[in-house]
Amino acid sequence: MEKLLLIVYAIIISVFISTSAAREFNFDGANLHRRSTDETLCNQLIKPAGYSCTEHTVQTKDGYLVALHRVSSRNKDQGGLRGPPVLLQHGLFMAGDAWFLGSPEQSLGFILADEGFDVWVGSVRGTYWSQGHISLSEKDKEFWDWSWEELALFDLAEMIHYVHLVTSSKVLIVGHSQGTIMSLAALIQPNVVEMVEAAALLCPISYLDHLTAPLVLRMVGLHLDQMVLAMGIHQLNFRSKILIDLLDSICDGHIECADLLTSITGKNCCFNSSIADLFFSNLNLTHHQQKTCGISFR
């Protein structure tokens, strides 16, 4: 356990260093990885698998431009007919591609499309597919001034409204992890409830004060969230060269990388260590950390 703890600390430090370096030496954000116009979720994962996919952009009330992807079955026998709309909402540290990373037989987004559902996939603000804002850029501190509460009341609520408007049907929601707490929070709004048919919550969370994972409790006890904010860091770059090189070194025979996740979440049968998003809001992590400390659900 102590070895894993040291490794996690090394990873955290590498993220801090890479993020601080980008902030101090690259005010124009030139080192940030930006997607080319043809680098889209549809082009990278969905269309190559034989599915129809269209890109949509939704503007939230606070000015963020979040991505929605609409996926249709590859089954020609359906004759272009669409079933009931279902909106898939990813969890913490993920984005819309989380629903398509396996084979068509193993990925929920593909499975639902093949079953005839009208599949919509959301990617919340700050993720790889949703880095836009009407007046801010990801270099601005204000761009990251949000937590899962804003993701629920603005991002998810607007996505539900958009899908309902386009399809003229009530929307089924499938949320995973953070996507479940977003769903619960979004559904406190009467106008949102009216547009939702039902919700399925995978790995649901609300309170986190029951966690027993030693690494998580140790990091919470160190108040790492406050340390990060004190350093002026508002987003963490988990795709920096420093971190990638460190993980390559750690995973090259030194330790089973899945153990890093297992030490935090418990046993996980299906962890894919190659998956991570580009940016995460530190304030959002702080909000989750408050729940770990026993602060009430809010």
pLDDT reported for residue 279: 34
Q: What torsion, rounded to 10 degrees, do the Cα atoms 206, 68, 93, 12 define?
A: -130
In the structure, what pLDDT confidence band is assigned to residue 220 with cuts at 50, 70 and 90? low
| Record: fold of 41-202 | Rossmann fold (3.40.50)
Global pTM exceeds 0.75? no
In degrees and rounded to multiples of 5, residue 71 shows phi and psi of -120, 135
Quick one: pLDDT at residue 167? 97
Within its chain, how far is the Cα of 218 from the centroid?
24
Please, is 241 exposed, middle or buried when counting C-beta atoms within 10 Å of its C-beta (0-12, 13-18, 19+)?
Answer: exposed
Bridge-partner residues for 86, per DSSP?
Answer: 119, 172
| Confidence bin at 119 (pLDDT 50/70/90) | very high
Give the model's pLDDT for residue 85.
98
Look at residue 215 in the predicted model and tell me its pLDDT.
Answer: 63
The pLDDT tens digits for 37-78 are: 667 999 999 999 999 999 999 999 999 999 999 999 877 665
pLDDT of amino acid 293: 47
- 141: confidence class by pLDDT, cuts 50, 70, 90: confident
Segments of the chain assigned to CATH 3.40.50.1820: 41-202
Q: Give the model's pLDDT for residue 14.
A: 52
How far from 212 is each of 218, 253, 293, CA to CA, in Å? Answer: 10, 28, 12
Give the separation between CA 141 and CA 284, rounded to whole angstroms: 13
In this structure, what is the dihedral angle of CA atoms 26, 142, 240, 277, given to the nearest 10 degrees? -150
